[in-house]
Structure 1
Amino acid sequence: MSAPAQFNPQAFIELALSRGVLKFGEFTLKSGRVSPYFFNAGLLNDGEALSLLAQGYADKLTECKNVEVIFGPAYKGIPFVAATAVALSQNHSVSVPWGFNRKEAKDHGEGGVLVGASVEGKKVWIIDDVITAGTAIREVVTILKNAGATIAGVLVALDRQEKGQGTLSAIQEVQKELEIPVHALITMSDLMDYLDGKGETEALAKMQAYRKKYGV
């Protein structure tokens, strides 16, 4: 199956559902909230699925400024950033250096926690699946800044559009605190539009209730 010419949120939602990446139902999150849906990008574990995700990231990055290096946080972000670099080259004829971090520093060979392209003096975009609490992104931002990078922005697959600890969402908190743009390929609103279009009234009603309680 060939990839579509441009990333399509609805096509991505269909694929996510077919792979079990996206599920509608009742799921207890780490926060204790009972969510009417669950998203696990780790299940985008075949070539077609990863290609479609990478295509979305690549398409979005071509609209962004200061894309000098792209970076994938360990571990889930590593295949995402590698596939995105390929998609940028193949679909947009843009060759962008990419790198990632190790969870634990290596004390032999090249050493350190960073692998791949140098980030020193570079404007770096971070690519990940979701921002739930923002903790992981903040850790990666610290690592990159310590290595001399400037954070240009963050690109994620899904924006849950729900409150974090206060009145802002985790993404809005990161945007405000770090003063960087954060973009998403799909949002909770896209999921609700999909359910509405399919006539899934029961699932949509649960999403609407959740959004009313926790949404931003």
Structure 2
Amino acid sequence: MQTPIKMLLADNQYQYRQAILGLLHNASYIHYCGEAFDGEELIEMTGCTRPDLVIVNLELPLLSGIEATRILRNLYPDLKILGLTDSSRQELIIQMMQAGANGYIIKNAETVELKKAIDTVMNNQPYFCNNTTLLLAAMLSRGIFNTFTTTKLPVDFFAVHEKEILQLICLQYSSKQIAHKIGLAHRSVEKYRHALMQKTGSQNMAGLVLFALRYGIAPPEVLPGKQD
């Protein structure tokens, strides 16, 4: 049985709040503990309800979701914060992550992705929605992960070729290019990619890059401050 999650939702538009709740109505393990209209109300309600998870619109009135996230991260270090946006503006997403959000999703996300995002951040993994690959490159180039704390993996975590393939994926090599570079069949590389996604708990290429950064195995070319 899945661990219950207390969730607080912050969005100034009623229809979006209702849409999110509609997507989650069958998720019995998610207990809705309230909704906030603006950033100031979000901070107040978080203190009153002490949720496990806050889903917050980046562009709230009075106090933006970004500023509210920064305050909440300082007040409640263990709180999981998932940004919600209908914007593809890279600077807002970057600012949200710098403020301490655990991930973000687009407002038109479907039920499967929303639940996946919630489950991922509640399992202490960052989540970026499916259109994140290019945004991630921008985040890295602007040094968002300058304070990324690396931890070590078990020595036997990777099977043969897996670490090398992960590093080439970080460099945006295609499966065909990886196969040519390390002398494997294209189909074998695809199987390795699938295995790496499962082993690292990643949903997309962005997740694999984040995993590599978290554990200090990303190639120097993708590390913050190392770009040409």
Q: Name the TM-score class by shorter chain.
A: 0.3 to 0.5
Q: Structure with the greater relative contact order (CA < 8 A, sep ≥ 6): 1 or 2?
A: 1
More helix by share: 2
Q: TM-score, normalised by structure 1?
A: 0.34
